Amino acid sequence: MNDKVLKVVFPIAGRGTRTLPASKAVPKEMLPVLDRPLIQHSFEEAVSSGFEQFLFITGRDKGAIEDHFDRHPDLEQALSDKGQALAAIRDFIPPPADISFVRQQEPLGLGHAVWCARHFSAGDPVAVVLTDDLILADQPCLAQLLEVQAELGGNVVAVMEVPKDQTSRYGVIDPGAGGSETVIPIAGLVEKPAPEDAPSNLAVVGRYVLQPEIFAELARMEKGAGGEIQLTDAMARLIGKMPFHAVVFEGRRFDCGSAAGLLEANLAYGLNDETFAPGLRSAIKEFL
Ligand code: G1P
């Protein structure tokens, strides 16, 4: 087993009903934030956090994502004939076979999607990234989790505070004793609890570092909230068997599974980018 976490899984089989009509004929992961598709942001977060092997759990109609992470010789030729730079279309693509794709085949839930990565894990720990959750941070959120994982071992998930009336949208942690303000031992995990049943207002966002034992739990295929096989339930069964911590990450999360979240992300990323910020600032002033 490899102690260092080098493998990362992107479950991307979900349909994207909250971003219609934009995602009717285009995978929601290909919708742009600034100058690149959403999925490229998540991918670059993983690369800059030190990950080396990438698995996409895909589904029907996600072919554009495979094409995006493939070389495009005709386009490269056309650009170089015109004397244009190739970096933007080529530099983010890893060597062949460092990136692979598996079909989920049926939409049975996030837990089922992650289970599809069991052979990729091959006994090693994996990180999981939900691309709907875009996180703008000084230090990539995945790198923040890896630091805690290297120190404390076991499983680590990212959490943030949410208003109590929103707990039913998330996995929610039951904070255990000890820890610090930003690194909290997990005593329990509940998927999408009603506010009155929620053990806290600390919600899991889509960044996880998981030990390979997760796959045996997922293999039980037990259905949970919404009749789906839930990653949260499988993780909950590992509590007490190994260290399990929540990290209140530094950074801002955007729910890019919704049109409003995408719009906010575009503004925030635009204002954070030295090329786009000056023009965007003056455009915003004109609109207001
Ligand atoms: C998934 C997880 C949930 C987590 C959320 C974060 O839910 O099941 O535990 O809090 O992502 O975005 P989904 O948004 O897929 O319903």
What tens digit of pLDDT does each residue of 165-176 get? 999 999 999 999
Q: Is residue 35 part of a domain?
A: yes
Please compute the mean of the pLDDT values over residues 269-280 and round it to a whole number: 97
Residue at 280 is within a domain: no
Write out pLDDT tens, residues 72-103.
999 999 999 999 999 999 999 998 889 999 99
Residue 50 above 90 pLDDT?
yes
**Token pair 């000056």 is at which residue?**
278
| Band of residue 1 on the pLDDT scale cut at 50, 70, 90 | low
- From the CA of 168, how far away is ligand 1's center (Å)? 10
- Domain membership of residue 14 (yes or no) is yes
Separation of CA 41 and ligand 1 centre (Å): 19
**Domains contained in the chain, number:** 1
Q: Is the CB of 206 under 6 A from ligand 1?
A: yes
Which domain, by its residues, includes 43? 7-274
The percent of residues in the chain predicted with pLDDT above 90, rounded, is: 96
Between the CA of 278 and the centroid of ligand 1 the distance, in Å, is 35
| Nearest partner of 16 among 65, 67, 55, judged by Cα | 65
> Which residue lies with its CA nearest to atom 6 of ligand 1?
205
Q: Is any ligand 1 atom within 6 A of the Cβ of residue 130?
A: yes
pTM attached to this predicted model: 0.96
Euclidean distance between CA atoms 110 and 204, whole angstroms: 13
Average pLDDT, the chain: 96
Q: How far apart are CA 60 and CA 106, in angstroms?
A: 9
Does 216 fall in a domain?
Answer: yes
- Chain-centre distance of CA 20, in angstroms? 20
What angle (nearest 5°) sits at the alpha carbon of residue 260, between those of residues 258 and 264? 120
Establish if 287 belongs to a structural domain.
Answer: no
Residue 268 in any domain: the answer is: yes
The answer to whether the CB of 110 is under 6 A from ligand 1 is yes
Q: Within a domain: residue 281?
A: no
Q: Give the residue, out of 130, 131, 230, 235, with the most ligand 1 atoms within 8 A of its beta carbon, to mutate for a pocket test.
A: 130
- Interval between CA 133 and ligand 1 midpoint (Å): 9
CATH assignment at residue 74 = 3.90.550.10
pLDDT reading at 226 higher than 80? yes
pLDDT score of 45: 98
CA of 206 to the centre of ligand 1 (A): 7
**24 CB-contact burial (10 Å; exposed 0-12 / middle 13-18 / buried 19+):** exposed
Distance, in Å, from the CA atom of 89 to the CA atom of 67, rounded to the nearest integer, reads 11
Ligand 1 atom having least distance to the Cα of 225: 8
Using pLDDT thresholds of 50, 70 and 90, give the confidence band for residue 2. Answer: low
Residue 1 lies inside a defined structural domain of this protein: no
Q: Is the pLDDT of residue 3 over 80?
A: no
Instruction: Give the CA distances from residue 138 to residues 45, 59, 142, 143, 249, in Å, rounded to whole numbers and listed in that order.
Output: 11, 32, 12, 10, 11
Ligand 1 and 205: CB distance under 6 A: yes
The model's confidence at residue 4, banded by pLDDT at 50, 70 and 90, is confident
Query: For residue 207, what are the β-bridge partners?
Result: 129
Complete DSSP assignment for the chain: --SS--EEEEE-----GGGTTTTSSS-GGGSEETTEEHHHHHHHHHHHTT--EEEEEE-TT-HHHHHHTS--HHHHHHHHHTT---HHHHTTPPPTTSEEEEE--S---HHHHHHTTHHHHTTS-EEEE-TTEEEE-SS-HHHHHHHHHHHH-SEEEEEEE--GGGGGGSEEEEE-SS--SSEEEEEEEEES--GGG-S-SEEEEEEEEE-TTHHHHHTT--B-GGGSB-HHHHHHTTBTTB-EEEEE-SSEEEETTSHHHHHHHHHHHHHT-TTTHHHHHHHHHHH-
Beta carbons within 8 Å of 46's beta carbon, 6+ residues apart = 8, 54, 127, 129, 142
Directed axis angle between helix 141-152 and helix 38-48, to 10°? 40
